[in-house]
Amino acid sequence: MSATPDPGRAPATDAAAALLGRLVELGVRHLVVSPGSRSQALALVAAELDARGLARVHVRIDERVAAYTALGIGRETGMPAALICTSGTAAANYLPAALEAHHSGVPLLLLTADRPPELRGVGANQTTRQPGMFAPNMRLEADLPVPDEVDADGTGEASGMLRTVAADAVAAALGAGTRPAGPVHVNVPLREPLAGVLPPWLGAPATALTAPEPSLDEVADPLVEPEPSGALYQGGGGIGEADVPADPESDPFVLERGPRTIVVAGADAGPAAEALAHAGGWPLVAEIVSGARFGRNIVHGYRALLSDPELGGRVERAVVFGHPTLSREIVRLLSRSDVEVLAVRGPGEPLNLNDATIAVDEVVAAVGPADRDWFGDWMRASRAASVDLSPAAPDGAGLASADPQARLGAIAAELGAIRAPIDRAALVDAVWRATWPHDRLLFASSRLVRVADELLGGKKVPVHSNRGLAGIDGTVATGMGIAIASQERGAPGVTRVLIGDVAFLHDVGALLLPPDETAPRIQVIVGNDHGGTIFDGLEVAQVAPPAAMDRVLYTPQAVQLEPLARAYGWEYVSVTGRAALDQALTGQVAGRQLIEVVLDR
């Protein structure tokens, strides 16, 4: 440490350099910054790391948009992005994305600048109690001491502590210890001067410095706020649901032959669900957001089949991957006391709907003959329930016929098909067909995802969704984060976001992109039925007065999306027919594109 600060140096900047520099060294590549005074040292260090090519900075003026952008990056890469904001309500706007990250197991780092402890609870401007504000959902919380000296060469005790905090934060966000991956909160109180000259050692690897690193044995409870003169670093594991730690040395759970078994794949299940179903010869019930809806074991029309006493009624064992959220039929099955449920631990919240679910880290199918009768019954019912959404092929013979009447009839039929309005089934089918393994597809929590889940067939494409809490907020921002991360270093593909109008308008601020940031290739496809039509299919529609139903649930809107898109610098496309939709989806995408499809209620 330097007792006499160099001209222009500030403890806040040196602290930011130690913390962010170590995060970047540990593999954090994306820093999502929102403007603010108290956070200026963190923001300026982030900008310098970006200028040196050590990290990428994404500036978002809305902290909720920023948080969901970071969530999308974490979803796509498996590495946390670091959020940087000022104090007060700025930090509070991170909460929705932090909750989603907690429930879906997405790594996320929240770095919130704060006033020093002596200004808390005394009416100081832009100050609230930030330590603990996210506590029930955090994997780690740390309320840092206020830096009070500059660090001449980066080897000071405080810099070493901050590097330790950074390492602990990344490890916790990635799921080290007894909990799965998720969000981490590091609160950074700072005194004036809030920024100074960047230290000369910024960006130097930690191995080149000799900073002492405090022992993690000193880590305390996360909800106990340190006194201003207390320990250098107090943090700890988040408070939440009890988790049994996964044992990497434990043997996989062997699924013996015999019980009539199905494999259930919920959100973020991934290909492991399909692999088990294939190995065991068992039916695969895979939600459209699972990333497991492919292969020959897929069950079409699973909702009706799970309600069939001869199929769903005879299930004796269910093996669950991911987080099922899209159908009541799956919830009923997994809640039955006569069904043995094994839930494979994943990144999200533990599943236990029948109070007897067995949590396992890994499952394998026992060697032995498959139950061909059981599997055959499901596959025959699946084929009968499958829906062919392919547009009708043109009548080639009629179009080429020498008979004027036959030719005119074929032409009329073709024009009718081209001009036919698009319904929800055609919309989800067109988006599904246009998406390939090098693309990304994000389903919003809108009516369309349920239509897609009910009708679409199998296809191995990368699918995302915020189904941890299934909120409608932050969907466009999440898609932007996914697009940014997936297209890094010139990777091909387009990110598509399939969303309803209410969810779109809820996150319209995410359309804003700074002019100095390269726009990713992204298509936001809005199924616009001018309100929340998902409520039309719920029980409330049978009991609510029509006027009240429309006003407080359907919430009709008449926003003109074209000028909205143009105002934010997005290309706008309006389609009214299937041919135009297919052309829009498969055409070259150079940047941000909004595709509006008007639907009937």
So what's the pLDDT on residue 249? 45
Top pLDDT among 179 and 145 is at 145
Owner of token pair 């090098």: 438
Q: Extract the runs of DSSP E, i.e. beta strands, from 180-267.
A: 183-189, 235-237, 253-255, 261-265
Q: Looking at the structure, tell me whether residues 452 and 585 fall in a common domain.
A: yes
Give the domain-ending residue among 334, 368, 385: 385
Residue 236: pLDDT band by 50, 70, 90 thresholds? very low
Q: What is the Cα–Cα distance from 157 to 152, expressed in whole angstroms?
A: 11
Task: Output the pLDDT for position 218.
Answer: 37
d(Cα 223, Cα 599) in Å, to the nearest integer? 49
Q: What tokens were used for 233?
A: 């670093």
pLDDT grade for 534, boundaries at 50, 70 and 90: confident
Q: Which residue shows structure tokens 């991934």?
A: 270
Span 420-433, average pLDDT: 93
d(C-alpha 392, C-alpha 585), whole Å = 19
Residue 163: predicted pLDDT: 97
CATH number where 362 lies:
3.40.50.1220
pLDDT score of 395 more than 50: yes
Are both 186 and 295 inside the same structural domain?
no
- DSSP bridge pairs for 261: 317
Comparing 13-27, 95-109, 377-391, the range with the smallest average pLDDT is 377-391
Residues 227 and 78 in one domain: yes
- Of 93-102, 214-223, 251-260, 552-561, give the range with the top mean pLDDT: 93-102
pLDDT digits (tens, 9 = 90+) for 304-313: 999 999 999 9
Q: What is the mean pLDDT of the chain?
A: 89
User: How far apart (Å, rounded) are the C-alpha atoms in residues 91 and 586?
Assistant: 40
Residue 321 and residue 444 in one domain: no
Among the listed residues 321, 272, 315, 274, the one whose alpha carbon sits nearest the alpha carbon of residue 293 = 274
- Give the distance, in angstroms, between the CA of residue 88 and the centroid of all CA atoms in the same chain: 25
Residue 444: pLDDT band by 50, 70, 90 thresholds? very high
The dihedrals phi and psi of 247, each to the nearest 5 degrees, come to -100, 110
Q: In this model, does residue 245 exceed pLDDT 70?
A: no
Burial of 173 (0-12, 13-18, 19+ CB in 10 A): buried
Q: If you average pLDDT over residues 234-241, what whole number do you get?
A: 36
Same structural domain, 20 and 56: yes
| Domain end residue (candidates: 338, 365, 385) | 385
Q: Same structural domain for residues 98 and 26? A: yes
Cis, peptide link before residue 193, omega less than 30° from 0: yes
Instruction: Report residue 226 as tokens.
Output: 């340190």
Assigned token pair, 41: 């040292």
Residues 367 and 453 in one domain: no
How many Å apart are CA 456 and CA 425, to the nearest integer? 9
Three-state DSSP class for 440?
Answer: strand
Considering the domain architecture, whether residues 369 and 486 belong to the same structural domain is answered as no
| Mean pLDDT of the 275-283 span | 96
pLDDT at 5: 54
Q: How many domains does the chain have?
A: 3
Q: Which residues, at least 6 apart from 271, have a Cβ–Cβ distance to it below 8 Å?
A: 291, 292, 294, 460
Instruction: Name the pTM for this structure.
Output: 0.90
Q: Give Cα separations from 499 to 314, 376, 452 (angstroms).
A: 36, 36, 12
Q: Has residue 392 been placed in a domain?
A: no
Q: Say yes or no to pLDDT of 211 above 70.
A: no
Average pLDDT over residues 9-27: 97
64 lies in the same domain as 122: yes
Helices (H), 179-290: 272-280
- Whether 244 is in a domain gets the answer no
Contact residues for 534 (Cβ-Cβ < 8 A; gap 6+): 446, 447, 450, 500
CATH number at residue 492: 3.40.50.970
Structural domain boundaries enclosing 364? 253-385
Question: Quick one: pLDDT at residue 126?
Answer: 84
In angstroms and rounded to an integer, the radius of gyration of the C-alpha atoms of the chain is: 27
Q: Tokens 């319904």, residue?
A: 423
pLDDT of residue 230: 30
Task: Provide DSSP, 559-589.
Answer: --HHHHHHHTT-EEEEE-SHHHHHHHHHS--
pLDDT surpasses 70 at 231: no
Tell me the pLDDT band of 3, cut-offs 50, 70 and 90. very low
Whether 247 maps to a domain, the answer reads no
Q: Given this model, what pLDDT does residue 475 score?
A: 98
Q: Are 564 and 508 in contact (CB under 8 A)?
A: yes
Give the residue carrying structure tokens 């499952």.
Answer: 363
20 and 42 Cβ atoms separated by less than 8 Å:
yes
Q: What is the mean pLDDT of residues 348-362?
A: 89
Per-residue pLDDT band at 204 (split at 50, 70, 90): confident
Averaged pLDDT for residues 111-126: 88
**Model confidence band, residue 468 (pLDDT cutoffs 50, 70, 90):** very high
Burial (Cβ within 10 Å: 0-12, 13-18, ≥19) of residue 543: exposed
In this structure, of 207-211, 457-461, 501-505, the range with the lowest mean pLDDT score is: 207-211
- The residue-averaged pLDDT of 178-182 equals 85
Instruction: Check whether residue 78 and residue 146 sit in a common domain.
Output: yes
Continuous segment of H or E residues that includes residue 98: helix 95-104
How much is the pLDDT for 408? Answer: 77
Looking at residue 124, what is its pLDDT? Answer: 83
